[in-house]
Amino acid sequence: MACKRSSYYLTTPIYYVNDVPHLGTAYTTIAADVMARYRRMQGHDVRFLTGLDEHGQKVEQAAVAAGMTPQAWVDKLAPAFKETWDLLDINYDIFMRTTSDEHRRSVQALARRLYENGDIYAGNYEGWYCVPDETYWTDSELADDQEVSGDEGEIKIPSCPQCNRPLTYVREKNWFFRLSKYTDFLINHYEKDPGAMGPDTRRNEVLSFLRGGLNDLSISRANVSWGIPLPWTEEGDDPQTMYVWFDALINYITAVGFGACEDGADEACTREFTYRWPAQVHFVGKDIIRFHCIIWPAMLHAAGLALPKTVFAHGFLLTKGEKMSKSKGNAVTPAQLVERFGVDGYRYYFMRDVVFGQDGSISDEAMVQRFNGDLANDWGNLCSRLFSMVGKYCGGVVPSYVGDIAADGAEGAVLRDITAGLGARVEDAYDRFDYSGALSAVWELVRAANRYLEESAPWGLAKDPDAADQLGNVLYSALEAVRVIALYTAPVMPATSDEVMARMGCSPATTSIDLEACAKWGLLEAGNVVEKGEPLFLRLEVEKEQ
């Protein structure tokens, strides 16, 4: 467990600017945002990076088709991402664009370092390339029914094993990175440090791929002009550009200062870099683990840089059994879901219902069910009936707790005791990237608070003049549980938590920098004004929604 207040640097993939942000890219970004918010609330010094992958053949081709320069094209598309992240309450610190000058300097600095170390050499590339995925494929990776040689010399065009779209044949002089040289290093890395990659199933997949042996990797393109130029050329050659993945991965170190100095680009010249790097976690989808768990660590190691502490790969969001993607035409937009479920309802559903690390089928029905059950009924209803009782029985202010709140068997002890163990359970879940587990631990308190109100029946106590202290203690305890719930749900539903805290006269949950201390039982101040307010979540009608 990292010491609180230490640096916590986390990243999402940088998304291809060509695609609009969709539920899949939003999923990774929300997960990273929740982790960033949780770590901030614990007091860590967080840097949260997201951004855009703007170079490569795919973008170049799309720009040509649109009759625009690639730069004008990416400038036109980029704002949609920031708008979507704003809509979803994503509180990132750095938005990287790979067309920035700082990134060009950083990529060239890293490439130069590898070149000078002898890890880059000139060779000839001949083989298949997937432009939409910007990925090279070897013959052996293509399925048997995709034999490349047809009758009479005719070439059958194979399709990409990942996205199924037709591949392009590439034959050119390229520069190669000696990836194969790092095979044993990588095997050893993942064998020795199980935490270096999660979940375990993905780590095993990476290990078995590594044990099959690695080929060197072409890191430049001769005929793609939309990219970062290699900082060297051989006599007689046209300048080449970097392979887009080689360029893109480096964004993770650009963002924290690598290559900030023009001359020599030595990372020691920036304190930020030594402080921030390595990253605590790179969040990725399972489609891009080979890049992040094989190519990227080999590049870093070859450059004498530390490896990220963890790469965590989540699964795919599926609709009707198929991966959601814009190109498959089955994507609902994040804005459409926000319109129906609100930002927090949206964020809650994906964090609670899809187990992080596994594929998850999402459906309208499941969303409505979660929304009505967990949010409208459990959490929203707890707040509204409690706040209304405080209005009715306590003049709309937090009552004082009479007696020793810490004593055995004190009123509300059942909630106090759940709260006492909650911080550790939530932290353990977040340490394992188990968002669903973190939320279900908090929901034990939500449900217990609802049960507690039922069982203590404040409406009955209110009729008994001798039970005034007990009534105050019951309502105080339930309010205290609400305050604790608002704190622990804030990373997932920040606006709702801040609203709940405001209604109880407390400072915003999201400003906590010592979550466990803030969640200590009994800190709620008596006398705070409590406002009932509008319902937090209005039940959705399934029939109407469907």
Q: Name the residue nearer to ligand ME8 (CB basis): 248 or 484.
A: 248
Site membership for ligand ME8, residue 96 (CB under 6 A): no
Closest CA to 94 of 40, 53, 32, 51: 51
Site membership for ligand ME8, residue 13 (CB under 6 A): yes
Closest CA to 317 of 332, 302, 304: 332
Cα 483 to Cα 458: distance, rounded to the nearest angstrom: 19
Cα 225 to Cα 56: distance, rounded to the nearest angstrom: 8
Among 10, 19, 36, 196, binds ligand ME8 (CB under 6 A): 19
Q: Name the residue nearer to ligand ME8 (CB basis): 301 or 323.
A: 323
Give the range of 13-21, 81-89, 186-194, 226-234 binding ligand ME8 by CB under 6 A. 13-21
Count of chain residues binding ligand ME8 (CB under 6 A): 21
Give the range of 36-44, 265-273, 317-325, 519-527 binding ligand ME8 by CB under 6 A. 317-325
Strands (E) across 335-444 are located at 360-361
Give the range of 12-20, 153-161, 165-173, 335-343 binding ligand ME8 by CB under 6 A. 12-20
Among 7, 8, 9, 15, binds ligand ME8 (CB under 6 A): 15
Site for ligand ME8 in 236-275 (CB under 6 A): 248-249
Site membership for ligand ME8, residue 284 (CB under 6 A): yes
Nearest distance from C-beta of residue 163 to ligand ME8, angstroms? 9
Among 99, 280, 310, 325, binds ligand ME8 (CB under 6 A): 325
Tell me the DSSP string of 297-329: HHHHHHTT-PPPSEEEEE--EEETTEE--TTTT
Nearest distance from C-beta of residue 25 to ligand ME8, angstroms? 4
CA distances (Å), origin 211, targets 135, 290, 293, 331: 21, 13, 14, 36
Q: Name the residue nearer to ligand ME8 (CB basis): 248 or 515.
A: 248
Among 196, 260, 317, 540, binds ligand ME8 (CB under 6 A): 317
Q: Which residues of 290-300 are buried (b: 16+ CB within 10 A; e: fewer)?
A: bbbbbbbbbbb
Helix residue spans in 170-320 (DSSP H): 183-192, 200-211, 244-249, 251-254, 271-276, 289-290, 296-302
User: Which residues fall within 8 angstroms of residue 454, CB to CB, at 6 or more apart?
Assistant: none
Q: Name the residue nearer to ligand ME8 (CB basis): 42 or 310.
A: 310
Q: Name the residue nearer to ligand ME8 (CB basis): 158 or 285.
A: 285
Site membership for ligand ME8, residue 323 (CB under 6 A): yes
Nearest distance from C-beta of residue 14 to ligand ME8, angstroms? 5
Cα 21 to Cα 9: distance, rounded to the nearest angstrom: 23
Nearest distance from C-beta of residue 297 to ligand ME8, angstroms? 13
> Residue with CB nearest ligand ME8?
24
Site membership for ligand ME8, residue 230 (CB under 6 A): no
CA distances (Å), origin 161, targets 145, 193, 245, 247, 459: 11, 30, 18, 23, 64
Site membership for ligand ME8, residue 53 (CB under 6 A): yes
Among 7, 9, 10, 28, binds ligand ME8 (CB under 6 A): 28
User: Which residues fall within 8 angstroms of residue 208, CB to CB, at 6 or more apart?
Assistant: none
Nearest distance from C-beta of residue 254 to ligand ME8, angstroms? 11
Site membership for ligand ME8, residue 174 (CB under 6 A): no
Q: Is the dihedral of CA 450, 452, 455, 461 positive or negative?
A: negative
Pairing status of strand 45-53 against strand 241-242: unpaired
Whether a cis peptide bond, with omega within 30° of 0, leads into 278 is yes
Q: Cβ(305)–Cβ(277) under 8 Å? A: yes
Site membership for ligand ME8, residue 353 (CB under 6 A): no
Site membership for ligand ME8, residue 288 (CB under 6 A): yes
Among 324, 376, 418, 461, binds ligand ME8 (CB under 6 A): 324
* Region class of 67: left (phi > 0), else alpha (psi between -120 and 50), else beta: left
Q: What are phi and psi of 9, to 5 degrees?
A: -110, 125
Give the range of 8-16, 144-152, 436-444, 474-482 binding ligand ME8 by CB under 6 A. 8-16
How many helices and strands in the chain, by DSSP H and E? 21, 15
Site membership for ligand ME8, residue 27 (CB under 6 A): yes
Site membership for ligand ME8, residue 214 (CB under 6 A): no
Give the range of 74-82, 318-326, 373-381, 493-501 binding ligand ME8 by CB under 6 A. 318-326
Site membership for ligand ME8, residue 24 (CB under 6 A): yes
Nearest distance from C-beta of residue 446 to ligand ME8, angstroms? 28
Q: Cβ(226)–Cβ(241) under 8 Å? A: yes
According to DSSP, residue 380 is labeled: I
CA-CA-CA-CA torsion for 257, 260, 265, 269, nearest 10 degrees? Answer: -70
Among 33, 54, 60, 287, binds ligand ME8 (CB under 6 A): 287
CB atoms under 10 Å from CB of 126, counted, come to 11
Interacting residue ranges for ligand ME8, rule: CB under 6 A:
13-16, 19, 24-25, 27-28, 53, 248-249, 284-285, 287-288, 316-317, 323-325
